[in-house]
Structure 1
Amino acid sequence: MSRRTYFIDRGLGETRGGVLLDGRPERLLIQRDDDSPRLALGARLRARVRHVEPALGMAFLDLGAGDEASVSFKPDERPRQGEALEVEIRTEPRIGKLATARLIGPAQGEPVLLESAPSLLDQLQRLVGEGEPVTGRVARQLADEAEAEVLEVIHPLPGGGTIAIEPTRALTAIDVDVGERKGQEAKRVTRQANLAALSVAARVLRLKGLGGLIVFDMAGRGHDGAALMAAARAAFNPDNPGVSIGPISRFGTIELTVPRRGRPVTEILTDGAGRVSARTLGHRLVRRLEAEGTAAPGGRLSAACSPAVAEAAKPALALLAGRIGARFEVKGDPALAWEQIEVHAR
Structure 2
Amino acid sequence: MSSKLVLVTGGSGFVGKSLIKTLCMDQRYKLIASTRHLSGSFPSDVSSVSVGTLDGETDWQPALKDVGIVVHLAARVHVMRESDADPLTAFRKVNVDGTLNLARQAAVAGVKRFVFISSIKVNGEGTPFGKPYTADDVPAPIDPYGVSKHEAEQGLLALAADTGMEVVIIRPVLVYGPGVKANMLSMMRWLYRGVPLPLGAIDNRRSLVSIENLVDLIVVCLDHPAAANQIFLVSDGEDVSTTGLLRRMGASLDRPVRLLPVPPGLLRCMAVLSGKGAISQRLLGSLQVDIEKNYRLLGWSPPVTLNQALLSTARHFLESGQA
- Pairwise TM-score range, normalised by the shorter structure: under 0.3
Higher relative contact order (CA 8 A, sep 6+): 2
Q: Which has the higher strand share?
A: 1
TM-score, normalised relative to structure 1: 0.22
Give TM-score scaled by structure 2 length: 0.24
